[in-house]
Amino acid sequence: MRHQKKTIKLGRTAEHRKALLMNQVCSLIEHQRIKTTLAKAKAVRPLAERMVTLGKNGSIHARRTALATLRQKDAVKKLFDDIAPRSAERNGGYTRIVKLGQRKSDSAPMAFIEWVDMAEVVETKPAEEKKARRKKAEPKPTEPERAEPKGEEPAATEEEPAEAPVTTEEPKPKKRRWFGRKSTDE
């Protein structure tokens, strides 16, 4: 019987599991929210909360302990400077797991893991970028601007006829083979 054996093994060796979970914690610190499987999110939660507790302590020893665990200086800096001060009044429970449903390919249960005191800016950035991309794609087809500079156009027309005969050649129809048999068009 597995009494008092709490380690979620995730089907990996101890070294692989440790590296995976620490990389997940670093990604959570960097991106504020990560999408992963429910089992991995539940395994990441205690480690992430332990790192925030070290960040709230703020001593050199706590910083070096976090650096020894996470192995990424920028993640430790962001943890101690941004995330831990936001959670200063909170006594534990720094992360939230939001269930998302099944993954399409293998029906694995998916979840978001995110900070409870997450910055508001993270949610507004992706919406603005999507709108900006759509607006930039529309103004590209502008033909009246090309017709105005006539001084530069003769040089462009001399190059176009050289390229035109290459593109005007009709492509040869592909010979289709049906289940390995030769077609009757040959």
CATH of the domain at 99: 3.90.1030.10
Question: For residue 178, is it within any domain?
Answer: no
Question: For residue 159, is it within any domain?
Answer: no
| DSSP-assigned beta bridge partners for residue 77 | none
What the block records as the tokens of 177 is: 């083979």
Q: What is the pLDDT of residue 124?
A: 47
Angle between helices 38-57 and 14-31 (to 10 degrees): 70
Question: For residue 167, is it within any domain?
Answer: no
**In the chain, % of residues over pLDDT 70:** 67
**In the chain, % of residues over pLDDT 90:** 61
78, 29 in Cβ contact below 8 A?
yes
Total domain count, the chain: 1
